[in-house]
Amino acid sequence: MSSHNEDMIILGEKIALGQSKTINFSFAKLYTTTKIEIPVIIERAKTPGPTVLITGGIHGDEINGVEIVRQVIARKINKPKTGTTICIPILNIFGFLNADRAFPDGRDLNRVFPGTKTGSLASRVAYHFTKEILPFADYCLDFHTGGAQRFNAAQIRIVPNNLLLLKLSSVFNAPFTVFSGNISKSYRSTCHKMGIPVLLFEGGKSLNSNKHIVKEAVDGVLRVLDHLNMLTIGFELPKKDSNPIFINSSRWIRAQKSGLLHVKIPCNKHVEKGEFLATITDPYGTMRFKVLAPNDGYIININQAPITNQGDAIFHISTQSNTSQVAP
């Protein structure tokens, strides 16, 4: 983290207080030798303050995250009253171009942090991002969706027993805050090791843009920037209809049969043990298997694929939750 009063030098470019600049993070070329560039949009207020790094598209097929950061920029939410915002709508540009989660070599960018200078393409991107951009951040907001056809309820994921993250997640006010440990070599794990608080938002599913999920996320950004005294005058702060539900533990409900999946409940719903969640049928009209809730809990993810194989994760359900703001 740099001094808030100093000029920032990011990717060789100087950005002074009160200045706006878009810098191209160039790291590779296509087969045609066309340069691949990642726009990094930087907005600095004249008054010093914290730096918030806002990222989407770490997985190239997670369109909701890209749309969230795009709206933050388009609506000028990223122009701070104090401090600095750094917005990167698409970090995995290769995956975005191919409508794919991973890089062309099959590597998941979110499993190679902090990266290496001479490693795989994904690892090199992680390395330069970690070395040249991430150290400027005081806070990070990272936006994701569920993988494949798995639709996530709007949720913030944080590590347990971290009072600062607990406070920030409550300010963000997504419907759910899920306590989960850091995955090795993930962006979130690297932020944790560098001492940078990070809120990871999950909502919706891959290759899909959902306006309700996007609104939950953009509203959360507004609240966090306001909490940090960075939100420009003129923005109406979204009302909080309710406080987040804190998910202390959860489990996946897996398909016991293969066949056509017919989901009967909406995401976010609180269900009771034994409640009817879905049916799995064969294509021939001879088999109909009921999927029942194994416990009381909130449904925070639904597999929206029309067919399922035995063992597939079809619902994510909480096993322990509360509405208090006390870390587990």
The residue behind tokens 């991107």 is 125
Model confidence over 183-203: pLDDT tens digits? 999 999 999 999 999 999 999
Q: Which of 238, 226, 265 is nearest to 83 (CA)?
A: 226
The answer to whether residues 207 and 60 touch, using CB atoms and an 8 Å cutoff, is no
Segments of the chain with pLDDT less than 50: 327-328
Distance CA(31)–CA(62), nearest Å, equals: 24
Whole-Å CA distances, 132 to 45, 128, 144, 150, 206: 21, 6, 22, 33, 29
Q: pLDDT at position 327, please?
A: 45
Q: pLDDT at position 328, please?
A: 43
Q: Where are the beta strands (DSSP E) in the chain?
A: 8-10, 13-15, 20-29, 35-44, 47-56, 82-88, 139-146, 150-158, 176-179, 198-205, 245-254, 259-263, 270-271, 276-281, 288-292, 297-303, 307-308, 313-322
Q: pLDDT at position 289, please?
A: 98
* Domains, the chain: 8-227 (3.40.630.10), 251-320 (2.40.50.100)
**Can the peptide bond before residue 114 be classed as cis, meaning omega within 30 degrees of 0?**
yes
Model confidence over 7-55: pLDDT tens digits? 999 999 999 999 999 999 987 888 888 898 999 999 999 999 999 999 9
Q: Which residues are paired to 253 by β-bridges?
A: 315
The residue behind tokens 């990642």 is 38
- Transcribe 2-56 into DSSP letters: --TTSPEEETTEEE-TT-EEEEEEEEEE-TT-PEEEEEEEEEE-SEEEEEEEEEE
The one-letter amino acid code at 270 reads: H
* Beta-carbon count within 10 A of 46 CB: 11
The residue behind tokens 């690892």 is 123
Q: Which of 211, 258, 194 is nearest to 53 (CA)?
A: 194
Residue count of the chain, please give it: 328
Q: Which residues are paired to 292 by β-bridges?
A: 276
Q: pLDDT at position 28, please?
A: 81
Say what the pTM is. Answer: 0.96
Side-chain-facing half-sphere of 202: CA atoms under 13 Å: 19
